[in-house]
A = this chain, B = another copy of it.
Amino acid sequence: MDVTNIENQRVKVQEKINNIFDDRQGLSGCCPIKDILGRFGDKWSIYTILMLGREEKLRFNELKGLISGISQRMLTVTLRSLEEDGLVTRTVYPEIPPRVEYRLTELGQGLLLQLLQLADWAKLHIQEILDARQRYAQQ
């Protein structure tokens, strides 16, 4: 009985994986995971999304202060890329000096939730990974 369940699990996983690769042609020649990953797999997007998720709205220099180490250029590039994909909105207030506010869209908040799930898994298993890494280094 247990064996059957485990076997069923396996088959489901295999089907899902097959589905991912079936869709490859339709979606600009790339599997959806890779495509999504391209959106936040870079060096700064995650931090940007997390900060906007925590603070709800932030100005350019506020973000720059919160994301330690990021350069002006990379913050600009990152925000433009997130905006392009509809994950972030950019609102310019025509004042002097200018004020620009960034927020997550609903889509961006959805992605944030996925990231947090991934973070949960990561926190649960990070120690195993660190241990494995150390074992590997000692061999």
Using CB atoms and an 8 Å cutoff, list the residues of chain A in contact with chain B. 13-14, 16-18, 20-21, 23, 27-28, 31-37, 39, 41, 46, 50, 53-54, 83-87, 107, 110-119, 121-123, 125-126, 128-133, 135-137
Report yes or no: A126 in contact with B39, Cβ–Cβ below 8 A. no
| CB-CB nearest in chain B for A121 | B114
Copies of this chain, complex-wide, total 2
**Which residue among A14, A37, A107, A135 has the maximum number of chain B CB atoms within 10 Å of its CB?**
A37
Report yes or no: A17 in contact with B50, Cβ–Cβ below 8 A. yes
Contacts of A137 in B (CB 8 A): 84
Report yes or no: B54 in contact with A14, Cβ–Cβ below 8 A. yes
| CB-CB nearest in chain B for A39 | B129
